[in-house]
Structure 1
């Protein structure tokens, strides 16, 4: 391309390129690129001119060339497919009439901050430095599947899948289903299988449509703090088998639609503190088969929709009971610690919400967590709740025996209850037989009658103080002796069963 073919605005860019100097066409620092469609020729640059500069632009000895342009209207399509560009590209606050085509390109660095684009196609893109799209407004899909970014990806404050001239972001993101049909046909942000050498910084991202991160590998952290993901009735964040080097931050995240992290590897924190997850009628959070260091839902709003944590391994789980929804899937979930510290009774309500019904493993995990915390009393409470829950799965005759063990000794977890029963029966028998002495079977051979030890002989089948065999009660006291004998056998049997169960747990 000859310089004679250029407009005055394009000539400014052409002459600045070999010097690596910037060209700022903005009239004011707060110019809104959403209004770029009305900008005149003094702010218009053809995409073919930018392509010619990047592929075979002029150079000057001793200078580092680079494209640095701000506040321009870029007409046509910037097509760099499969090209190798050795110069950094910085196109800030620009208005693109067509989305750039960067599929398979190799770039040094790409900056599109605060620009307005109809879409962006950059699958299999390779960037030696950073990819910066902070504050961008992109109505159509952003395709970055399979991209390899040596530095970081910046999407902080970007608005995707929303009309760039939408007057109110919140209103746009709460529009009814179908209001943005084009944004729903494919992911609004496609980052599946990307490899990022540093971080994904997307704090404050607003996305109407799906964010897809399936199979992505992020060496540092992924940051979605204060993000708003709106895809109701569908999957808002699709991040199966995502792997991050440190944390996945999503504090104050608002997700309208499912958050799917199945199979993710997050060695430190999955931080959903203060988040609002909503997908009524479906799953709000799916984090099954994950390996997570710490899962934080501290002070998060009550989750609207089901939660699936099946088969995940989590070191620390921080979630208040009131945050859990009515439906959960936690079979195979393993964790070592629970915070905040709460009584077992408050934690047990979660196990009753399991969609699969009674899960012995879930009770064992909760027991182990309390034992790790050194709270043996809470651990016993959980084990007792497990046996009571199991009792409901048994036949009627077995449930009756379970009720008896629960009433008498709390399945062995409440041994003092048996002592209370024995003491009550001992006092009852002692008082009754003291008022109405049984007659001796052999008056000349019988020992002196002792109502206390006579009652003990009746209650405890393993003792013999010689009282029961020497005296025979009559009338109502005879019926009382039968009751004491039967009750003593029942108590002895249930105590033995409880002790055996306790020893087997030890």
Structure 2
């Protein structure tokens, strides 16, 4: 490049580059680059000059060359496709007139903090250090699909996309990107459009605390098959559109504390096949839209009943522990909202969670609710039998009710047979008749007081005795099952 043609601003940068010095055109600290379109020649650097420095700029022995430019306007298109840049690139609070092209480039470090860009194409980009876009303002798409970042990626406080402007591609594309450290996208990140993390691998933490992801009626965050090294923190996250975590792997915690997920009329959270250590949704707002957790696996699922939306899909969902501690009746209302109808697996999971927590009464309540829900799917005659079982013994999960029925039958039977004693089979050998113990012989299948074998009712009383035998077997079995469960729990 003919350096005699450089402007004063470009000459300052050219002379500072081989020494790694900072060239700062800002007139005041934190001067926003949003006003950069009006910056004049005194702080304007042509993109071709920046490219010439990075690709083959001057070197000075004993110094480390670096591009450190602050508060400048970059006129023209900065095209670094397939370039290999040895030194770090710091373009802090700069204003780019045209999009930044980094397709297939290899950089040591890239810092675009607080800069303003029309768009950026960094597909297949390689960065040996960190990629920093803190506070950036990018109106168009940021393409980083297939990139490999050896350090961390910083998107905290960035504003990507424009409200009311819909793109036919993601505003932020990090699909199949590999990040060997953290992805920090918190601190007021605002995105108008889709954020795509499908197939991305992040070795460290992922942070979306206080971020706003807005793509109404579409996907706000597409992170299917995402692989995180530890946690994904999204406290106070606000999404307007679908949050898609299908098939993601997060070994630590997925923290959605105080989050607000909204996609009216659609899926607010799609997390089928998700594997997470702990899903934490403490104080999260009620989901505005449905939730899908088909086949998901959690060690701990912490979500209050009031957080669940009106429509859920829970078939195949497994979890070890469930919090916060709530009565079974409040949890059962959630299972009744399943769009797939009666899902036995969901009831079994809730039962197991209560049993692991030592609350056997709540576990029985869930099992009873399961039988009642199943009853609605049966033929009329099976439903009639189910109503009888429910009314009498609570499908076997209400042993105290069975004991009350048993006592009532004992009293009724004793009164009837005391008023009309049955004749003795062998009058000379039979013991004295006792109505109470005679009825006990009929009701209890194991006990034998010798009354039933010595006396035999006739006619209608004989049929009444048969009914006592059948009911006694049913009720005694129910009581025995309840006692067995209590003993095994202890």
> What TM-score do the two structures reach when normalised by structure 2?
0.93
Determine if the alignment matches structure 1 residue 374 to structure 2 residue 355. Answer: no
The question of whether the paired residues in 2 share the 8 Å contact of 1:413 and 1:498 is answered with no
Determine if the alignment matches structure 1 residue 347 to structure 2 residue 331. Answer: yes
Alignment of 1:101-500 (within 5 A): 101-162=101-162, 172=163, 179-181=164-166, 184-203=167-186, 204-434=188-418, 436-438=419-421, 440=423, 445=428, 447-460=431-444, 463=448, 465-466=450-451, 470=455, 482-483=463-464, 485-493=466-474, 495-496=476-477
The question of whether the paired residues in 2 share the 8 Å contact of 1:458 and 1:481 is answered with no
Task: Say which SS state the counterpart of residue 314 (structure 1) adopts.
Answer: strand
Distance 1:502 1:307, change over 3 A: farther
Query: Following the alignment from structure 1 to structure 2, what is the Cα–Cα distance between the partners of residues 432 and 139?
Result: 89
Determine if the alignment matches structure 1 residue 40 to structure 2 residue 40. Answer: yes
Task: Say which SS state the counterpart of residue 10 (structure 2) adopts.
Answer: helix
Task: Say which SS state the counterpart of residue 293 (structure 1) adopts.
Answer: strand
Task: Say which SS state the counterpart of residue 298 (structure 1) adopts.
Answer: coil
> What TM-score do the two structures reach when normalised by structure 1?
0.90
Query: Following the alignment from structure 1 to structure 2, what is the Cα–Cα distance between the partners of residues 460 and 414?
Result: 18
CA shift, 1:156, in A, is 0.1
Determine if the alignment matches structure 1 residue 54 to structure 2 residue 35. Answer: no
Task: Say which SS state the counterpart of residue 335 (structure 1) adopts.
Answer: strand
Distance 1:480 1:298, change over 3 A: farther
Query: Following the alignment from structure 1 to structure 2, what is the Cα–Cα distance between the partners of residues 443 and 109?
Result: 106
Structure 1, residues 139-177: CA drift from partner, whole Å, max 9, x if none?
Answer: 100011110000011000000002xxxxxxxxx4xxxxx
CA shift, 1:205, in A, is 1.0
Q: Which runs of 5+ in 1 are unaligned?
A: 163-171, 173-178
Task: Say which SS state the counterpart of residue 317 (structure 1) adopts.
Answer: strand
CA shift, 1:288, in A, is 0.8
Structure 1, residues 30-85: CA drift from partner, whole Å, max 9, x if none?
Answer: 32211111111111110101011111111111111100011111100111100100
Higher deviation after alignment, 216-225 or 341-350: 341-350
Distance 1:369 1:294, change over 3 A: same
CA shift, 1:376, in A, is 2.3
Query: Following the alignment from structure 2 to structure 1, what is the Cα–Cα distance between the partners of residues 455 and 173?
Result: 91
Count of residues in correspondence between the two structures: 484
CA shift, 1:442, in A, is 8.2
Could you tell me which residue of structure 1 aligns to residue 7 of structure 2? 7
Task: Say which SS state the counterpart of residue 101 (structure 2) adopts.
Answer: coil
The question of whether the paired residues in 1 share the 8 Å contact of 2:216 and 2:241 is answered with yes
Query: Following the alignment from structure 2 to structure 1, what is the Cα–Cα distance between the partners of residues 479 and 403?
Result: 13
Which ranges of 4 or more aligned residues in structure 1 deviate by more than 6 Å? 500-506
CA shift, 1:375, in A, is 2.2
Task: Say which SS state the counterpart of residue 300 (structure 1) adopts.
Answer: coil
CA shift, 1:2, in A, is 2.4
Higher deviation after alignment, 419-428 or 258-267: 419-428
The question of whether the paired residues in 2 share the 8 Å contact of 1:232 and 1:257 is answered with yes
CA shift, 1:430, in A, is 3.0
Structure 1, residues 321-365: CA drift from partner, whole Å, max 9, x if none?
Answer: 110111111111111111111222222222211111112211121
Q: Which runs of 5+ in 2 are unaligned?
A: none
Distance 1:454 1:256, change over 3 A: same
The question of whether the paired residues in 2 share the 8 Å contact of 1:151 and 1:197 is answered with yes
CA shift, 1:257, in A, is 0.3
Higher deviation after alignment, 286-295 or 424-433: 424-433
Q: Root-mean-square deviation (CA), in Å?
A: 2.4
Query: Following the alignment from structure 1 to structure 2, what is the Cα–Cα distance between the partners of residues 441 and 331?
Result: 60
The question of whether the paired residues in 2 share the 8 Å contact of 1:149 and 1:195 is answered with yes
Query: Following the alignment from structure 1 to structure 2, what is the Cα–Cα distance between the partners of residues 65 and 211?
Result: 35
